[in-house]
Each structure stands twice: as C-alpha cells, then as structure tokens.
Amino acid sequence: MPTTTHTIRYSTPRKGHANAHQLLAKFEDLYGFMVEGNVDDVNVLNDVRERMREQGRVWWALEASKGANWYLQPRISSNGGSEGVISVTSLKLSVLTNTITLRRLIRKGVPPVLRPKVWLSVSGAAKKRSTVPETYYDELIRATEGKTTPATLQIDHDLPRTFPCHSWLNSEEGQASLRRVLVGYSFRDSEVGYCQTEEDAFWMLAVLLENVLVNDCYTDNLSGCHVEQRVFKDLLAKKCPRIAAHLEAMGFDVSLVATEWFLCLFSKTLPSETTLRVWDVLFNEGAKVLFHVALAIFKMREDDLLRIQHIGDVIDILQTTAHHLYDPDELLTFAFDKIGSMTTNTITKERKKQETVVMAELDQRIRRLSSLKMDG
C-alpha cells in the first residue's frame, strides 16, 4: 500500500494558548488535499493511517487465499438494485460467504489502491459500462468537443472553484480531465445537465446518478433532494426523538445543514479519508448510508444539541463536529451500531410517501409564480 509523509507546519498560538494540543497544523493528506487541524487531529490521522495499513494486509491475505479478483464474482446485491442478484435456488454457500465477507471488509475500509476496481464492481458501474461498445466514452467526448450548452457554461464557471487547494485538480491537466467527465455526462443525461482512470470516473458518475442515488436529486427543481430532506427529517424524529423535538421547538430546519451533506455526499463536510470511507459503503450498500451518517452526526452531539437554544449554535456544533471527524471508524461504528438498522426497502417506501407531497408543493409553487407573472 502507498505510504504518505506529511510536512506539518504549526501556526503560532495565540497568547495564553500555548498548549501543544491547541496548535494548528497544516499538511497534505493522503489524497493531496490540504488539511488544517490541531495536534490531536494529526495523531488521529496517524492512527487511521496505521489501521489502513492493517486493513490492507487483510485484503491482500484474502486475495492470496481466494484469488486476486474474488470480490468481482457474483454476489447478493446489497444496495437494493438488480446488479449481482442471485436467486435463492441457485445460491451457493461460497457466494453468501463472499457477500458477507465483502460487506464486513468494505465497512472497515477499502485500501486506496483497490478502490477503483472495487468501486466499479460493487456499484454496478462495470456492469453498466459493459452494456455499451468499448469506444462509447471516447466517441462521446469527441462528439461533445467544441459544443456549448447551458451545462458546459456552468461547468466552465465552476471548475476553477472545485477544490482549488488540491494541486492536481487545480492544474490544467486535472481541470481538463474533470471537464471531459462532467461535459460527457451532461450530454448523456440532459435532464441532469450539470451539478458539480477518467473513463472509470465517468461510469462511476453514471451509476451514482442513475442507480445509487434517488432520482431527480440534481435536476432543475431538485425534487429528489427535497424528498431526501423530508425522509431524513422523519428518520431523525424516529431515531433521535429528543433531538428532533428540541430542534423543532427552536424552529430549526435540519435541511439547513443536511441539504449540502446529501447533495455533496459529505465531500464538503467530512475529511477526505472519512468521506471516501462513507463512499466505500455507499457504492456497496446504497444511499441508505447517507441517512446513517447524517443521523450519526446529530446523535454524536445529542447532549450538546439539547443544551443550546440558538439556531446559529446548532449549525456551528454540527459543522465543527463533521469537519473534525478524522476517524472514519468512529463515525461508521456509530452510524451502524448506535443508529440501528434501516433497510433500503423502508427508505424507498418513505420516499414514495414524501414524493407525492414534494411534487404537490412544487406544482403549487409553479402555479403561484405563473400567477404573479400574469398579474405583472
């Protein structure tokens, strides 16, 4: 597995705050992102990195015993989709064993060097790519060259602002590569248009938007996003009733923080390794992990949230907590062990119930705007 060394620069502590644990450190993480945290955060990251190495050894041992690509074999679907589903009559003990083993392993983290292959397999992206000619992506990119649409204009506007502190993503090569992926997909699915190896990234984006996440999360009216926020609010009331009641009494709308969490899949909220660990589970088990993680962040700070009385303090606590969750094992253990089980079917039923309400509200909003235009 790759190892990374960090050059840590400590900022000068403010007067009266000379405790070493309060010093701020700036360093580049395993994925090239600049991170700022205190010494305790650095120590946690070092522990996490050592656990990653240990977990890597587990994966290598399984590859030695089961074969290099054992996780690419047929398995029972974990994300509610049709990929890899095997009938009960044809179910073999080895398939069941591999499915359980893989789920347990993925929750503990996929080694960075294996992520591209594992994600492509468990998400269904490899299967999706196999349904089109091998030249599909290259032909799509050639077909879109030089074309201008509202989506390409928005992409060109947003690219310079996409992770500007990352050396490769902010380079000419990195932005060109990212642009090809985003423009290509905007032509594949014009309804989505644009919302923030290269071909592998394209197919991961395709399977994410078409199979893993709820429909219409990134369309113009964001109806899918509105549905997810309503589902999350209901789940918070069921899983964390004291928090939900307290926040409702304050007049706090959980979508103030959770909308960005769900739209950006925590990439703007959690540290990079923690985000990727969430995505490990997301691609294998489906979008239910987003609810698990969001609920966990609230639940982890239950006592603090119940004490405060100001909306601004709620936002500050949740954002600060999320930004410093450098230990992905702590978050994911809490998300699955403390929050309890939530099946994909349960969430799907809740979405269908909320979808009717959301579409009625959006329709009413459109009618009201049309009425105002006519009056004007």
CB-facing half-sphere around the CA of 119: CA atoms within 13 A: 27
pLDDT at 302: 96
Indicate if the pLDDT at residue 192 is higher than 50: yes
**In the numeric block, which tokens belong to residue 355?**
């979808």
Q: Exposure pattern of 101-125 as b/e (b: 16+ CB <10 Å)?
A: ebbebbbbbbbbeeeebbbbbbbbb
Which residue has better confidence, 367 or 149?
149
Interval 5-29 mean pLDDT: 54
Distance, CA of 46 to CA of 28 (rounded, Å)? 13
Domain boundary residue among 183, 212, 241? 212
pLDDT at 360: 82
Does residue 217 belong to any structural domain of this protein?
Answer: no
CATH classification at residue 303: 1.10.472.80
Does residue 43 belong to any structural domain of this protein?
Answer: yes
Same domain, 53 and 177: no
Q: Could you write out the three-class secondary structure of 163-232?
A: CCCCCCCCCHHHHHHHHHHHHHHHHHCCCCCCCCCHHHHHHHHHHHHHHHCCCCCCCCCCHHHHHHHHHH
Does residue 48 belong to any structural domain of this protein?
Answer: yes
Does residue 157 belong to any structural domain of this protein?
Answer: yes
Neighbouring residues of 73: CB distance < 8 A, sequence distance ≥ 6: 95, 98
Interval 115-119 mean pLDDT: 91
Distance, CA of 361 to CA of 99 (rounded, Å)? 41
Interval 266-279 mean pLDDT: 94
- Helix pair 272-285, 288-300: axis angle to 10 deg: 140
Percent of the chain residues past pLDDT 70, beyond the cut? 84
Residue of 205, 203, 267 lying closest to 31 (CA atoms): 267
Same domain, 266 and 196: no
Does residue 9 belong to any structural domain of this protein?
Answer: no
Neighbouring residues of 368: CB distance < 8 A, sequence distance ≥ 6: none
Same domain, 351 and 295: yes
Which residue has better confidence, 101 or 9?
101
Same domain, 146 and 258: no
- For the entire predicted model, the pTM comes to 0.83
Looking at residue 69, what DSSP letter applies? Answer: T
Residue 345's H or E segment, with its range, is: helix 344-375
Which residue has better confidence, 33 or 112?
112
> What is the domain extent for residue 32?
22-62
Interval 164-181 mean pLDDT: 82
Does residue 318 belong to any structural domain of this protein?
Answer: yes
Q: How many secondary structure helices (H) and strands (E) does the chain include?
A: 17, 3
Question: Residue 38 in contact with residue 22, Cβ under 8 Å?
Answer: yes
Question: Residue 225 in contact with residue 236, Cβ under 8 Å?
Answer: no
Question: Residue 224 in contact with residue 214, Cβ under 8 Å?
Answer: yes
Residues β-bridged to residue 9:
26
pLDDT at 376: 56
Same domain, 227 and 368: yes
Number of domains in the chain: 3
Which residue has better confidence, 10 or 203?
203
Distance, CA of 92 to CA of 244 (rounded, Å)? 44
Same domain, 309 and 202: no
pLDDT at 77: 56
pLDDT at 17: 47
Does residue 233 belong to any structural domain of this protein?
Answer: yes
Same domain, 203 and 234: no
Indicate if the pLDDT at residue 14 is higher than 50: no
Residues β-bridged to residue 37:
25
How many degrees, rounded to 5, is the angle at CA 302 between CA 296 and CA 306?
A: 145
Question: In angstroms, how far apart are the furthest CA atoms of the chain?
Answer: 73
Same domain, 42 and 141: no
Same domain, 192 and 259: no
Which residue has better confidence, 315 or 169?
315
Confidence category of residue 8, pLDDT binned at 50, 70, 90: very low
pLDDT at 81: 45
CATH classification at residue 162: 1.10.8.270
Domain boundary residue among 212, 234, 250? 212
Return the residue matching tokens 């893989």: 102
Same domain, 233 and 365: yes
Does residue 15 belong to any structural domain of this protein?
Answer: no
Same domain, 361 and 267: yes
pLDDT at 6: 43
Interval 365-371 mean pLDDT: 72
Return the residue matching tokens 């979405």: 351
Neighbouring residues of 20: CB distance < 8 A, sequence distance ≥ 6: 39
Confidence category of residue 57, pLDDT binned at 50, 70, 90: very high
How many degrees, rounded to 5, is the angle at CA 99 between CA 95 and CA 101?
A: 115
Q: Could you write out the three-class secondary structure of 253-264?
A: CCHHHHHHHHHC
Same domain, 256 and 171: no
Domain boundary residue among 161, 182, 212? 212
Neighbouring residues of 372: CB distance < 8 A, sequence distance ≥ 6: none
Distance, CA of 12 to CA of 140 (rounded, Å)? 51
Return the residue matching tokens 């899918």: 224
